[in-house]
Structure 1
Amino acid sequence: MNDSTNRNPLARARDGYSSFLDSLRDRWATAPRWVRWVVYLLLIVVAIILPADGIGSFMSPYTDWPTLLFFPIGGYILLAIGLNVVVGQAGLLDLGYVAFFAIGGYGMAMLGTKAGLDFWEILVLGVLLSAGSGILLGAPTLRLRGDYLAIVTLGFGEIVRITANNWNYIGGPNGIGGIPHPPTLTEWTIPDNGLFDAIGIGGVQPFKYGALDGKPYYYLMLFLIVLAIIFAKRLENSRVGRAWASIREDEDAAELMGVPTFKFKLAAFAIGAAIGGASGVVYASQAVSIIPTNFPFILSATILAAVVLGGSGNLPGVMLGAFLVAWIPERIRGLQEYRVLVFGGVLVLLMVFRPEGLWPSRRRKAELAEGEGGMGSMGAEVGGPVTVGAGEGAE
């Protein structure tokens, strides 16, 4: 009893938070199937009503809330889901993830303005183009590990940005303007009978896309996020997900056990790139014009910070981290020049409080406690907090 009372408040708060998460996981693991479906439906309902003005007045007093929900919040969440496949599940450190976001964005711009293709056609082509870029990057580089792989991916991200900046065919530093919006359903394949014009959510017609209203784009991004969650979770619980976990924990041991590590790492790169490309396509369709400076290295670093902050390898945690990283700077915009300083301080405090992330999976938490970060040699240098003392164990 004396040991627990003598511990500092931060350690007690951290232990209490960990116990709460563990009990929540235990209840979820034993919950009936119908309870899970009810929770899923409630979460979708909350996501649908989230752009309401009453919520926005508190969540974003300085920025248009629906537009903020679309990007950066929705965009960061979708990008974090894709990067989590690479970093959190396969354990590959990617510092150039913004390249795939840029490829999707420029694909939307080029195919929409020069080829005149429909948004939905471009979305499919953008996903395939980004996945192919992931394979093109991964094929010669994925035999590298740790910091060497990180340097190569960092270089790839800069190559894509600099190429876009210097290639006049795609606008050079001026970028591409006049990017078409997604068509409404009445403009696509369904005759205009007034049915979809009458459908609205909170006074908004979610099937009409324009330049000023961010809500329809938010619902489009939400649709893609739900698809990405289903896809990522099914992969995580499949043979592919188990192979990624074995590679993340010990690639040499996985290879000795017969796991074709190169093939599965290449698949992780392609899938993560495809999700990033989809986010780029939707972002460009709302932005109307894009320029190379829309895709800086700091965006890759920010998404990686979101994955680590939320809990690398755990999808709900990754989404929570992306939400916080995107929302906090906008919520404190009133602080003006001190905004970035306060935001950095908040991130430092959160990582001091939870070095393994706000909501890590139990497996990833155990890896960090053993000193293996699951990112090759770089991750192995990062250990989780270990408390030593009578009656105390590792967190």
Structure 2
Amino acid sequence: MTNSDPTVPVAAAAPRRGVGDAIRSWWDRQSRPAQWGVGVVAFAALALLPVLDPPLISTTATDFGATMAQFAMVALIAIGLNVVVGQAGLLDLGYVGFYAVGAYVVALLTSPASPVWNSVDHGIFSGPWAWLACIPLAIVITGITGVILGTPTLRVRGDYLAIVTLGFGEIVRLLADNLKEVTNGPAGLQGVLFPELGTSADKPDGVFSVQNNDRINSGIWWYWLALLLVVIVLLFVGNLERSRVGRSWIAIREDEDAAEIMGVPTFKYKLWAFVIGAGIGGLSGAVYAGQVQYVDPKAFTVINSMLFLCAVVIGGQGNKLGVIVGAFIIVYIPARVQGIEVGGQSLGDFKYLFFGLALVALMIFRPQGLFPARARLITFGRQVYAAAQRVGDAARRDPGPPGEGGDPVVGAQKEVTS
């Protein structure tokens, strides 16, 4: 039926909806208990994935449990980097430096080769709970490193900030490589301690030891531990995102000058983002040191920093769950194709070529990432507009007293608030 009255606006055509929008709309319609139920089931399925070891998903050239453990660790890194890049809009190319600081804190405190102690007995850092005792120190020291770096550098923006952070990552690696009296130099620190849980006659060092080669091996246990830490960090970052701090980060990301004019202390909140992201990076570094039980400078190159940034860009900047998907992509795909050979050459050797091509295609066809973040304010505004249209159409069909069906504004307010 057409509208013959030229004074009545014709309703705009409904925008095309993709699969992501349909899933998001279905999720928003669910009650809070239903959302928690779906989340618990999905989390349990994800946790049991390396135990079930599905043949279509499992990696052939590498242990699937170790691959999933690496994925959970990189997911932790991506969440921390997303705070800096995705939420506050600060381009950090040297995030691997915080990762290195957290790993070296644990290694220097627990490794028998640590030049810091020059003894076998490290006190509280030499018992079965040594790794756990190092976690708070790794987070705090890395956070202090973020303050030291951020205080003088966060006054610059854009490309200049990217260059400064890139230099920071290289400085940390070079210091670890050259300060032999402190870090043991290129030889690295071996024998890093880990949680000694589940000790038995056949597993004297516990389930987290690399000697645990059971069906549920050490990689699966480290995967479960990192997955638990991911959930804790997600809850922490999610609460921050919904607070005044998160709203300030979004304002700074969209337009820093406008945010400062509106009274947002931009430097303070940028420093908060830097420190929180650094602390999460230190936590992921501590997980890495305990998992591999060996730390050396070669693990903290600029290439790794770029891969961490790729996880955020591919998944969707500002979307916490999206960056986890991005972390899974950059860890799982190279491991999955590692055992596939074409012309006598393993496809895993071309992972950087694949990532480069994927990024180029992504920037052309979907620059916002696979799962872009949606601003809740924009979503609410669209709901108000759609409700006003529906109430206005109903009012034109059946005019009523002002303030009820006949007033589209009041009717839309009632519909949205209900």
TM-score range, shorter chain: 0.7 to 0.9
Deviation, structure 1 residue 343: 4.6
Q: Equivalent residue for 2:74?
A: 76
Q: Is the 8 A contact 1:328 1:343 kept in 2?
A: no
User: Is residue 176 from structure 1 mapped to residue 189 from structure 2 by the alignment?
Assistant: yes
Aligned-partner Cα distance in 2 for 1:245–1:135: 21
- The amino acid that maps onto 1:176 is L
Matches within 5 A, 1:263-274: 263-274=268-279
Contact 2:53–2:64, Cα closer than 8 Å, also in 1: no
Q: What percentage of residue pairs aligned between the two structures are identical?
A: 46
Whether the 8 Å contact between 1:311 and 1:360 is mirrored in structure 2 is yes
Aligned partners of 1:275, 1:182: CA distance in 2, in Å? 19
Which 5+ residue runs of structure 1 have no aligned equivalent? 1-14, 187-193, 198-203, 367-395
Q: How does 1:158-169 map to 2 (within 5 A)?
A: 158-168=170-180, 169=182
More helix by share: 1
Contact 1:180 1:288 in 2 (8 A): yes
Q: Which whole-Å CA distance do the structure 1 matches of 2:233 and 2:196 have between them?
A: 22
Equivalent residue for 2:262, pick from 237, 257, 269: 257
SS of the equivalent of 1:144 reads coil
Supply the distance in 2 between the matched residues of 1:347 and 1:255 (Cα, whole angstroms): 33
Supply the distance in 2 between the matched residues of 1:147 and 1:270 (Cα, whole angstroms): 20
Deviation at 1:209, TM superposition (A): 1.6
1:30-76 per-position Cα deviation (integer Å, ceiling 9, x unaligned):
311111111111122112201125326633122100011111x1121
Q: Describe the shift of the 1:293–1:56 C-alpha distance in structure 2 as closer, same or farther (beyond 3 A).
A: farther
- Secondary structure of the equivalent of 2:250? helix
Q: Which has the higher contact order (CA 8 A, sep 6+)?
A: 1
Look up the match of 1:90: 88
Larger Rg: 2
Pairing 1:59–2:64 present = no
**1:1-395 maps to which residues of 2 (within 5 A)?**
19-55=18-54, 58-71=57-70, 73-113=71-111, 114=117, 115-116=122-123, 117=125, 118-168=130-180, 169-184=182-197, 208-212=207-211, 213-333=218-338, 334-335=340-341, 336-339=345-348, 340=350, 341-363=353-375
SS in 1 for 2:194: coil
Q: CA deviation at 1:23?
A: 2.1
Query: Is the CA contact 1:209–1:217 (under 8 Å) kept in the aligned structure 2?
Result: yes
RMSD of the TM alignment (CA)? 2.3
Query: Retained in 2: the 8 A contact 1:161–1:296?
Result: yes
Which runs of 5 or more structure 2 residues have no equivalent in the other structure? 1-14, 112-116, 212-217, 379-418
Residue 345 (structure 1) shift: 3.3
Deviations 1:336-391 (A, max 9, x none): 44431345434444444422100001239x9xxxxxxxxxxxxxxxxxxxxxxxxx
> Number of residue pairs matched?
334
What's the TM-score, normalizing by structure 2? 0.75
Taking the aligned partners of 1:21 and 1:223, their CA distance within structure 2 comes to 26
Aligned in 2, Cα 1:300/1:28: closer, same or farther, shift over 3 Å? Answer: same
Distance of 1:301 and 1:145 partners within structure 2? 19
